[in-house]
Amino acid sequence: MQQPSPEQVPGRVTSARHHDMLPLPEAREVAPGIWKFTLPIPFPLRTVNMYALVADDGWTLVDAGIGTPDARVAFAAGLHKAGLSIDTLRTIVLSHDHPDHIGLSGELHERSGATIYMHPIDANNMRFLWQDIYPERFTQVSHFFRQHGMPIGEPWFSQASPEQLHNIIKVPPFEEITLAEDGQYLHLSGERYRVIWTPGHSDGHICLYRERDDVFLAADHVLPRITPNVGLYSEYDRKNPLGDYLDSLRKVSTLPASIVLPGHGEPFKDLAGRVEEIIEHHEERESQIMNLLDEKPQNAYQLAEKLFGQRLKSNESRRMAVAETLSHLEYLRIDGQVEQHKMMDGLILYALV
Ligand SMILES: [Zn+2]
Ligand SMILES: [Zn+2]
């Protein structure tokens, strides 16, 4: 089971200032029949995008933001600007199970009766994490981080009461979700979209592709300016998230996308170029890790401190940095370049082979 990952990406931020200039709330048509709503989120990425696929007889929502008070205000303003109402919401597609993409899904489903599509892996993870909110579930996995050297810290959501948390993140019952598989076509608002399973950022992450005019709804798989967080969060998830992610990048890099609609940040055009940059970033990080391990065997937390340094301000960003470092270490281990040493004190060290 994966712990929830708000989008606190400790990766490369090439232009942090840009965020401060984004006006909120924002809603506008970014491709024929597709509106982008931008909502504020209480995580360092600051905002998340939802997309409305609009037709005369109803509309589809891709991703469901989060239910904080200011996000609700922004969503209501966006709906108003786009001339949409919850009554005519027919379908909700959830790209993955992170809290800032699913938060309003349960409530919107209840109010509209909309069909919900999600990949089976993330639908299942979402059920265990968010359907019934048991804070103790979240802490179960802290053992995983402790053995990789991370001092124990409270996760962000543990400060909220279950009621408060339900207001912010409320998901539909698992039984209400229609599972969407790789390669399947969904008929959404009078158009045909292909589901592309892109594991990496989350195990059950999906993108949507409208072949008619090559519109690519990338969610968090390919983001502009920011490298999506790819982390190993527990022993129960897919074993090689970075390997998955790089494969998933190659899977989409040759799509002739006319526009990429990301889960955070602004739409962009050069999909192949952006994929190339992200792959280069991971290669850079890989050689940094190899150099650090060349000095001496170390645990994932020690490595993360050296790699991410100043940016590890909160428990949450530390956890994500360790998870990201682990995704590299496991990628290298599966590739035969590093190995694990289990120490007497329970800590796991990594060393060059
Ligand atoms: Zn996101
Ligand atoms: Zn995400």
Per the domain annotation, does 117 fall within a domain?
A: yes
DSSP assignment of 42-61 = SSTT-EEEEEEEEETTEEEE
Q: Give the count of domains, the chain.
A: 1
Q: How many angstroms separate the alpha carbon of residue 35 from the centre of ligand 2?
A: 20
Per the domain annotation, does 31 fall within a domain?
A: yes
Mean of the per-residue pLDDT values of the chain: 89
Is residue 257 classed as helix, strand or coil in its secondary structure? coil
Q: Which two tokens stand for residue 180?
A: 């969407």
Per the domain annotation, does 344 fall within a domain?
A: no
21-27 long-range contacts, CB within 8 A, separation 24+:
22/46, 22/47, 24/74, 25/73, 25/74, 25/75, 25/77, 25/78, 26/74, 26/78, 27/77, 27/78, 27/79, 27/81, 27/82
The average pLDDT across 340-349 equals: 94
Residue 313's Cβ-count burial label (10 Å; 0-12, 13-18, 19+) is: exposed
Q: How many angstroms separate the alpha carbon of residue 346 from the centre of ligand 2?
A: 31
Q: How many angstroms separate the alpha carbon of residue 220 from the centre of ligand 1?
A: 5
pLDDT of 88 higher than 80: yes
> What residue numbers bound the domain in which 94 lies?
17-292
The average pLDDT across 114-139 equals: 82
Per the domain annotation, does 1 fall within a domain?
A: no
pLDDT of 298 higher than 90: yes
Per the domain annotation, does 189 fall within a domain?
A: yes
- 348-352 and 338-342 beta bridge pairing: antiparallel
| 222 Cβ contact partners less than 8 Å away, ≥ 6 residues apart | 228, 249, 252, 260, 262, 271, 274, 275, 278
Q: How many angstroms separate the alpha carbon of residue 296 from the centre of ligand 2?
A: 33
**Vertex 93, ends 88 and 94: CA angle to 5°?**
130
Considering every ligand atom shown, identify the ligand nearest to the alpha carbon of residue 206 and give its number. Answer: 2
Q: How many angstroms separate the alpha carbon of residue 260 from the centre of ligand 2?
A: 16
Q: How many angstroms separate the alpha carbon of residue 48 from the centre of ligand 2?
A: 9
Per the domain annotation, does 324 fall within a domain?
A: no
Q: How many angstroms separate the alpha carbon of residue 353 from the centre of ligand 1?
A: 35
Q: How many angstroms separate the alpha carbon of residue 306 from the centre of ligand 1?
A: 25
Nearest-angstrom CA–CA distance, 141 and 87: 40
Q: How confident is the model at residue 312 (pLDDT cuts 50, 70, 90)?
A: confident
Is residue 299 classed as helix, strand or coil in its secondary structure? coil
Per the domain annotation, does 307 fall within a domain?
A: no
Q: How confident is the model at residue 140 (pLDDT cuts 50, 70, 90)?
A: low
E strand or H helix at 36:
strand 34-40
For the stretch 18-71, pLDDT in tens is 444 455 558 999 999 999 999 999 887 899 999 999 999 999 999 999 999 999
Considering every ligand atom shown, identify the ligand nearest to the alpha carbon of residue 44 and give its number. Answer: 1
Q: How many angstroms separate the alpha carbon of residue 61 from the centre of ligand 2?
A: 17
Task: State the pLDDT at residue 2.
Answer: 42
Nearest-angstrom CA–CA distance, 206 and 116: 13
State the CATH number of the domain containing residue 69.
3.60.15.10
Task: State the pLDDT at residue 133.
Answer: 59
Q: How many angstroms separate the alpha carbon of residue 127 from the centre of ligand 1?
A: 18
Per the domain annotation, does 329 fall within a domain?
A: no
Q: Which two tokens stand for residue 204?
A: 């059950």
CB 61 within 8 A of CB 35: no
Tell me the residue type at 200.
G
129 vs 252, residue with greater confidence: 252
Q: How many angstroms separate the alpha carbon of residue 95 from the centre of ligand 1?
A: 9
22 vs 208, residue with greater confidence: 208
Task: State the pLDDT at residue 127.
Answer: 87
Q: How many angstroms separate the alpha carbon of residue 161 from the centre of ligand 1?
A: 23
Count of all residues that appear for the chain in the document: 353
pLDDT of 160 higher than 80: no
pLDDT of 164 higher than 90: no
Task: State the pLDDT at residue 153.
Answer: 66
pLDDT of 316 higher than 90: no
Q: How many angstroms separate the alpha carbon of residue 186 from the centre of ligand 1?
A: 22
Considering every ligand atom shown, identify the ligand nearest to the alpha carbon of residue 97 and give its number. Answer: 2
For the stretch 181-207, pLDDT in tens is 999 999 999 999 999 999 999 999 999
Residue that is written with structure tokens 């200032």 in the block: 17
